[in-house]
Amino acid sequence: MSERQPTTAKINSDLLGPVNKPGRGWYATVTVSGLVVLAAAGALAYQFSRGLGVWGINRPVFWALDITNFVFWIGISHAGTLISAILRVTGAEWRRPVTRCAEAITVFALMIGALFPIIHLGRPQLFYWLVPYPNERGLWPNFRSPLAWDFFAINTYLLGSIIYLYLPLIPDLALLRDKSRGLWRRFYGALSLGWKGTQLQWDRLERAVRVMAVVIIPVAVSVHTIVSWDFAMTIRPMWHSTMFGPYFVAGAIFSGIAALIIAMAVIRRVFHLEDYLQPIHFNNLGLLLLTMSLIWFYFTFGEYLTTWYGNLPDEMAVFDSKVSGVYSPFFWGTVICCFAVPAPLLAIKRFRTIKGTVIASMLVVVGMWFERFLIIVPTLARPRFTFNWGTYSPTWVEIMLTAGTFAYFVLLYSIFTRLFPIIAIWEYKEGLAVAREPSTSSSSVSSPLTEST
Amino acid sequence: MTEEAKEKKPQWAMVIDLDRCTGCEACVVACRVENNIPTVGPEEAAKGRSINWIRVERYFEGEYPDVKVKFMPVLCQHCEEAPCEPVCPVYATYRTDEGLNAQVYNRCVGTRYCANNCPYTVRFFNFFDPVWDAPLDKALNPEVSVRTRGVMEKCTFCIQRIRKGQEKAKDEDREVRDGDVVPACVQTCQTKAMYFGNIADPESEVSRLSKSNRATRLLEELGTKPRVIYLNKGD
């Protein structure tokens, strides 16, 4: 927390700044990312009209960048909800300016990740056949299929994350309603659900947020576990692994924190929120990132060592292709990006600055994308009978779609910062109140906030 | 046929005698013609997009000039415990009561998950709309449905011939017996390396051959219980 205690008016004007006057950079970002998204949409239209043959996938590599992006973005989505929920549940005071950036990442990353299971289908127009509804085919979805589990897990997580993002947004929406006119007033008024800031409303909100924070943690863990089971439930070498669940969840939180640090650094810089997002936040998240880096390394080491020691020929074919074969640049790239560089960088206090954590985070995001690719493609390229071994290289359509996911994320996130305060104003003020009276519980200090809304 | 076998549905199985296979690939051609398998052209084939419900895998042993080539025709193994079946989210692939691993093209949405979980790599995806070079486009088999873009396909054990054989047996008021059902690959095999029949009937040829001490199944250790039995004397 800052030593200086800013006034309510200053907090309001600082944190509502991006909403009120977005600035030239915002328009430039939206334009550029929007154009990339349009280009990716063009590539997608081309794919829909010609067929999946315009991708580089083949037999035996039936999944490649599509599922890489799917797993990667679902992983990024763990930034938010999970981290914010854990920090809330454990009552970490420094979380306050961080939670909303994180929760927004979750919702948008999830929306992007969830696109891939649909657009990668041979007949994407029929994706709704995975929905259990009474139909003329007289057929339920196959509940034994991990893809059906995926469908439910992702939808539950998406719904939960949207609620979890929305609930703490309500008081800020009311603040925006009170400060805006015309159509905007109606827009925020409808969204703020008649929030007046009465004690009863505060009590209910606090309780709802507390419940959601607890509920969302097992949901988040289950989502990436189920994503990992898409692989672990098969009998493919180096997919069929009992530790894939925790391995994927750890990797997801890892890449999620990295994405959060990058997003926070960008927000801090472009919206001049240096007073709110302080080195302490980057330091603390950097320590979390370090922890996850060590856990990731532990899992990876355990996974590869047991495979190598077991020395089963089918497994070793995949292992060799990763560690010393055609995919070794990706493997060693992953090790360097996820562990060899970030771990020392984050462990040494002198480097755990904003710049240091951002560099580490960028490496981690790249490394984790490689890692997802590395999990999917080498196993598929090395079927048990050597006669069917294959290779994979992406086409421009897949590369365009991948670039499009990043642009789409930037676009959605930019629009979000334009519409809603990216730092929770009331939570920040509540934090100041808690700092003034450390002995009081958080629910009883919420009443002074009512004056501000 | 015994009384017990008569009460049960026939259980289809194939026997391939590797010691007789010359690797001529006549079975591959016969299968293409019988089952309306589209041609993808040399470029797409090089990318791994060709469709061959049956293929002859070649394995080389030793160094030139002392080389030994082994041929192994591989098709859908119609596993009793098929790994492709439980992973399909829309029941596009399932087990019939005659022990066939059926693929319902109209149900398939094209997740390709089945292909990823098949240890034999015998499932094929239609990456583009199907094409036949002229005059093959005028020679499609009317008894086999043409698949659309975006669905999986694979060997059916020539289910159209199985149905025909069963109808013939029914017309003659008898049980199905050896010779009633002959898939295209089996029919065309020059060296008579392939056999097809009802393995639930202990008197059928496939039943007899499956008990041979040369009999083996592919990747038996995975517990998939394939319905294709290979005969191989070993070395």
Query: For B99-125, what is the mean pLDDT?
Result: 95
| Rounded CA separation B180/B205 (Å) | 12
Does the structure show a pLDDT above 90 at A231? yes
- pLDDT tens track for B26-85: 999 999 999 999 989 899 999 999 999 999 999 998 888 899 889 999 999 999 999 999
Query: For A120-134, what is the mean pLDDT?
Result: 93
pLDDT at A39: 97
Min distance B184 CA to chain A CA atoms (Å): 24
Do residues B150 and A126 touch, judged by C-beta distance below 8 A?
no
Alpha-carbon distance values, A364 to A220, A290, A292, A354, B71 (Å): 20, 11, 10, 15, 47
| Tokens matching residue A402 | 């991948």
CB-closest option in B88, B121, B148 to A388: B121
Alpha-carbon distance values, A295 to A218, A287, A353, A438 (Å): 19, 12, 22, 34
Q: Which residues of A touch B125 (CB under 8 A)?
A: 52, 59, 62, 122
Contact of B87 with chain A, judged by CB distance below 8 Å, is answered with yes
- pLDDT tens track for A238-286: 999 999 999 999 999 999 999 999 999 998 888 888 888 888 889 999 9
Do residues B136 and B148 touch, judged by C-beta distance below 8 A?
no
Interchain CB distance below 8 Å, A122 and B124:
no
Helix (H), strand (E) at residue B55: strand B54-61
- pLDDT tens track for B155-166: 999 999 999 999
Q: Which residues of B touch A386 (CB under 8 A)?
A: 59
**Which residues 89-118 of B are in CB contact (within 8 Å) with A?**
89-91, 107-113, 115-117
Do residues A36 and A402 touch, judged by C-beta distance below 8 A?
no
What 3-state class would DSSP assign to B200?
coil
Does the structure show a pLDDT above 50 at A419? yes
pLDDT at A429: 82
Partners of B152 in the β-ladder: B125
Does the structure show a pLDDT above 70 at A368? yes
| Tokens matching residue A373 | 């690719």
Task: Indicate which of B57, B95, B124, B127 best probes the interface with A, i.e. most A CBs within 10 Å of its own CB.
Answer: B127
In terms of Cα–Cα distance, which of A364, A369, A375, A300 is closest to A337? A364
CB-closest option in B87, B109, B149 to A126: B109
Query: In which band, very low, low, confident or very high, does the pLDDT at A78 lie, cut at 50, 70 and 90?
Result: confident
Do residues A128 and B72 touch, judged by C-beta distance below 8 A?
no
Helix-helix angle A80-89:A146-166, to 10 degrees: 60
Q: Which residues of A touch B222 (CB under 8 A)?
A: 235
CB-closest option in B83, B121, B150 to A123: B150
CB-closest option in A50, A122, A146 to B126: A122
| Rounded CA separation B109/A188 (Å) | 41
Closest chain B residue to the Cα of A67, Cα to Cα? B111
pLDDT at A256: 93
Dihedrals φ, ψ of A218, to 5°? Answer: -65, -30
| Rounded CA separation A206/A194 (Å) | 16
Do residues A425 and A440 touch, judged by C-beta distance below 8 A?
no
Query: For A336-347, what is the mean pLDDT?
Result: 94
What average pLDDT does the structure give for chain B?
Answer: 92
Q: How would you classify the pairing of strands B93-95 and B124-125?
A: unpaired
Helix (H), strand (E) at residue B161: helix B159-171
Q: Which residues of A touch B151 (CB under 8 A)?
A: 122-123
Query: Does the CA dihedral A73-A143-B123-A233 come out positive or negative?
Result: positive
Dihedrals φ, ψ of B215, to 5°? Answer: -75, 135
In terms of Cα–Cα distance, which of B218, B42, B48 is closest to A389? B48
Interchain CB distance below 8 Å, B110 and A52:
yes
What average pLDDT does the structure give for chain A?
Answer: 89
Expressed in percent and rounded to 5, the helix, strand and coil fractions of chain A are 75, 0, 25
| Rounded CA separation A185/A178 (Å) | 7
**ipTM over the 0.95 cut-off:** no
- pLDDT tens track for A147-175: 999 999 999 999 999 998 999 999 999 98
What 3-state class would DSSP assign to B211?
coil
Helix (H), strand (E) at residue B153: strand B152-153
Spell out which chain A residues touch chain B, with contact meaning CB-CB distance below 8 angstroms.
Answer: 50-53, 56-63, 117, 120-123, 126-127, 129-130, 137, 139, 141-142, 144-148, 151, 230, 233-236, 380, 383-388, 390
| Rounded CA separation B144/B149 (Å) | 16
- pLDDT tens track for B207-222: 999 999 999 999 999 9
- pLDDT tens track for A383-415: 999 999 999 999 999 999 999 999 999 999 999
Interchain CB distance below 8 Å, B47 and A141:
no
Q: Which residues of B touch A136 (CB under 8 A)?
A: none
Alpha helix stretches (DSSP H) within A167-243? 170-179, 182-191, 199-232
Task: Indicate which of B43, B44, B47, B93 best probes the interface with A, i.e. most A CBs within 10 Å of its own CB.
Answer: B47
Interchain CB distance below 8 Å, A141 and B149:
no
Helix (H), strand (E) at residue B17: strand B12-17
Kindly tell me the number of DSSP H helices and DSSP E strands found in chain B. Answer: 8, 10
Interchain CB distance below 8 Å, B149 and A58:
no
Query: For A66-72, what is the mean pLDDT?
Result: 96
| Rounded CA separation A103/A422 (Å) | 10
Q: Could you give the percent of chain A with pLDDT greater than 70? A: 94
Min distance A55 CA to chain B CA atoms (Å): 9
Contact of B152 with chain A, judged by CB distance below 8 Å, is answered with yes
Interchain CB distance below 8 Å, B112 and A62:
yes
Query: In which band, very low, low, confident or very high, does the pLDDT at A335 lie, cut at 50, 70 and 90?
Result: very high
Polymer length in residues for chain A: 453
CB-closest option in A56, A59, A63 to B121: A59
Query: For A69-86, what is the mean pLDDT?
Result: 88
Partners of B228 in the β-ladder: B14
Does the structure show a pLDDT above 80 at A453? no
Interchain CB distance below 8 Å, A51 and B129:
yes
